[in-house]
């Protein structure tokens, strides 16, 4: 559970301010989108892709997931996110996820042994 909590906090530190800067999202919407994205990425990226394919594939998957998820939510809520803005958020998310995956390596050696 602490791994998910760390992921939620790390992603919120970067995703929420970027969403507030680039879009018309409210603080509540940005927090909910960041939390939902983090939970989805945790179970898809960290519990499956990272375990099966390694850090590079999981980082790429997390970045692509961020772009697609935020595009879908942004379209539904009329946030006005452009593709370059989504790309910035996706690249920052991927960079944060790369570091998070390295942190997971220190916590759980089974993923990299």
Per-residue pLDDT of 54-76, as tens digits, reads 899 999 999 999 999 999 999 99
Predicted confidence (pLDDT) per residue in 80-105, tens digit? 999 999 999 999 999 999 999 998 88
* Res 1: pLDDT: 59
- The model scores a pTM over 0.85: yes
pLDDT of residue 26: 97
Q: CA 32 → CA 1, 35, 39, 102, 109, distances in Å?
A: 19, 5, 11, 25, 31
């Amino acid at each position: 559970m602490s791994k998910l909590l760390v992921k939620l906090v790390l992603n919120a530190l970067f995703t929420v301010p970027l969403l507030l800067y680039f879009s018309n999202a409210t603080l509540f919407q940005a927090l909910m989108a960041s939390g939902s994205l983090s939970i989805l990425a945790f179970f898809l990226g960290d519990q499956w892709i990272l375990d099966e394919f390694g850090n590079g594939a999981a980082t790429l998957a997390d970045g692509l997931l961020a772009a697609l998820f935020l595009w879908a939510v942004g379209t539904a809520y009329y946030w006005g996110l452009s593709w370059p803005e989504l790309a910035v958020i996706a690249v920052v998310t991927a960079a944060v996820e790369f570091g998070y995956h390295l942190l997971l390596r220190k916590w759980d050696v089974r993923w990299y042994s």
